[in-house]
Chain A
Amino acid sequence: METRDLKAIYGKLQALKGINLKFPENKVTAIMGPSGCGKSTLIRCLNRIHELTPGAKVQGEVILDGINIYDSKVDPVAIRRRIGMVFQKPNPFPTMTIYDNVVAGLKLNGVRNRNKLNELAEKSLRMAFLWDEVKNDLKKPGTALSGGQQQRLCIARSLAVEPEVILMDEPCSALDPIATAKVEESIVELKKEFTIIIVTHNLQQAARISDYTAFMYLGKLEEFGETVDIFENPKSELTEKYITGKFG
């Protein structure tokens, strides 16, 4: 997956000023930067969720498997099944059970086969490291879980539609350290099958789980490289200042 000269606008504000970034396959890429640098906007452009905000516009290209997802012939709904998203605050569907939440993406798209649904539900919950905790309580409402479990439920939900890329917008910022550790554990496992792009403002988290890091500042890509390199030998002065905590 890559972006070419990606620009994004909210009304009169230009949030992204031409981003060129290649996301390595089957790796975890962290997007970091101070508040307001455009990292959330960037990730929301990758699965065409940004354009749902009234007054939002996108220019430039985002390429997945050689196809520009912003091409007029491409159906955004189909794209979003290939690029999944986990949000900052866990958002399970409140009127659905745990099981129904996990298979929501499938059921809402017309999949009826009981066996297939059961199979995918178990597989996704195992990948999200949640199966053991809920396997006997699948009929309980999705909101009856703790925050950390809800977030893993949301991860399982996005896994069930079998995407290729998973976008995560600060998935652990609303969770306690133990829940965070569980989510990070699942992310490291998930990259074997998926390409993961995670926005985080937690430097230690990026250092722990990401293979590559992109550092953004004021809507521009400041630096990109392997996480180890960025942290030990940042090329840009801004990157160095951010990493050493001089601003955030």
Chain B
Amino acid sequence: MTSADGFSSVSWWRRLVNKSMTILILVAVVLAIVPLVFILAEVLIQGGSVISLGFLTHMPAGPTDKTGGIGPAIAGSFTMVGIASLISIPIGVGAGIFFSEWSSSKLSTVSGFMNDVLTGFPTMVIGLFVYIIIVLTTHEWSAFAGGVALSFIMIPIIARTTSESLSLVPNTLREASMALGVPRWRTIFRVVIGTGKTGLLTGIILSIARATGETAPLLLTAAASTHYITNIFNQPTASLTVLIYNYGTSGFPVWEAQAWGAALILILLMLGLNLFVKLVIGKNLTEARME
């Protein structure tokens, strides 16, 4: 084993394996990124020419009318994600706090498991459920129903990310706070959440990005519309995703081009949210860690 020949032949083989594995992994990375790059490029090319201020604010027009816009769809998406956030942030953060701070209780284990199952739940089924409990009972499509459906998707994600961020806060900090005579609920809200707030924010923003891109639940709750809404409880509401679906499959070239434009706006929104998390929040996180 110590002869020069034995030593060099072993290392030649290992170097070859090492290099091939590295190449294989790089190929895997490229294959993983290629679809994303293609989609982004295609959307940029097809949708870029349609974008204008008018496009972003006008109401939709006929299938051959180039002056139509996606204003109501943008407003509708914002409204429904907004409603969903108002519902899901308090509930999701609350559940996350319970999972993290009362992790030893049986209820916590059971509901935590159910929560994780819900994170991957088929969105069409969620849409159908909300269709039955809200749309059929009120006999109206509504932004409210759309927001509720989106919140069913957002709550499990926020609960899980909140619980994980808070679990990362070292127990010594909880003890330090309790030892000062700070009551438990204040320890949780001021110290634990104060320390874990970047993780919480990241989870919330990522779930917002996710909800913005959902289609199936909105098809069954808010349907579609060509108008800006004036009431969230009794009017069908447009959304970017449903518009892309309707226009993209319509067969009219003007509408199909506008679908690409809407897709570009949607992707820019999602990229923006993700970049915000990575750059702004991620930066604060690294600064805090470096101290």
Contacts and interface: CB of A to CB of B under 8 A. Distances in A.
Interface stretch (A73-81, A115-123, A215-223): A73-81
Contacts of B175: 49, 52, 85, 87, 91
Q: Is the interface of B mostly helix, strand, loop or mixed?
A: helix
Contacts of A143: 291
Contacts, number: 74
B288 A94 contact: yes
A141 B290 CA distance: 12
A168 to B, nearest CB: 11
B261 to A, nearest CB: 43
A108 B195 contact: no
Contacts of A95: 194-195, 197, 288
A54 B181 contact: no
Contacts of B174: 52
Contact of A47 (B104, B177, B179): B179
A80 B180 contact: yes
Contact of B181 (A78, A87, A144): A78
B195 A94 contact: yes
B291 to A, nearest CB: 5
A87 B173 CA distance: 10
A94 B169 CA distance: 10
A157 interface: yes
Contacts of A105: 180-182
Given A94-B195, A95-B194, A108 B177 contact: yes
A85 B175 CA distance: 9
A81 B178 contact: no
A143 B288 CA distance: 9
- Size category of the B interface is 20 to 34
Contacts of A87: 172, 175-176, 179
Interface string B79-110: 00000000000000000000000001000000
Contact of A161 (B173, B181, B288, B291): B181
Contacts of B14: none
B190 A108 contact: yes
Contact of A108 (B104, B170, B191, B288): B191
B179 A108 contact: no
A45 to B, nearest CB: 13
Contacts of B195: 93-95
B183 interface: yes
Contacts of B176: 87, 91, 93, 154, 157
B186 interface: yes
- Scoring A52, A82, A154 by chain B CB atoms within 10 A of each residue's CB, the highest score goes to A52
Contacts of B180: 80-81, 84, 104-105, 108, 157-158, 161
B181 A77 contact: yes
A164 to B, nearest CB: 12
A75 to B, nearest CB: 9
A61 B179 CA distance: 19
B172 A91 contact: yes
A109 interface: yes
Contacts of A17: none
B86 to A, nearest CB: 27
Contacts of A84: 179-180
5 nearest A-B pairs in the assembled complex, by CB-CB distance: A81-B181, A105-B180, A85-B179, A80-B181, A54-B104
20 contacts: A47-B179, A49-B175, A52-B178, A77-B183, A80-B181, A82-B181, A84-B179, A87-B172, A93-B173, A93-B191, A94-B173, A94-B288, A95-B195, A105-B181, A108-B180, A109-B182, A141-B291, A143-B291, A144-B291, A157-B176
Given A52-B175, A84-B180, A143-B291, 5 more contacts: A49-B179, A95-B197, A104-B180, A108-B186, A157-B176
Interface of B: 104, 170, 172-183, 186-187, 190-191, 194-195, 197, 288, 291
